[in-house]
């Protein structure tokens, strides 16, 4: 199964941040509704199994 660390929505938390933990990051996705754009964020770890929103950059 794919892991969060491969997803383009995964952003690692910097070491100097207050809620830093090894391998911890945020899953940040942009959404849009009739009022405009907004972002959804939730804490995840690199080894977490990816959700249905997995997006892998290809190049």
Question: Any idea where the domains of the chain sit in the sequence?
Answer: 4-45
| Residue pLDDT, tens place only, 2-58 | 899 999 999 999 999 999 999 999 999 999 999 999 999 999 999 999 999 998 877
Alpha carbon 9 to its chain's center: 4
pTM of this prediction?
A: 0.82
Strand order across the beta sheet in which 36-45 lies: 10-12, 24-33, 36-45
């Amino acid at each position: 199964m794919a892991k969060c660390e491969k997803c383009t929505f995964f952003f690692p938390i910097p070491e100097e941040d207050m809620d830093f933990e090894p391998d911890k990051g945020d899953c940040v996705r942009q959404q849009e509704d009739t009022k405009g754009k907004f972002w959804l964020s939730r804490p995840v770890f690199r080894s977490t199994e990816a959700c249905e929103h997995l997006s892998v950059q290809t190049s």
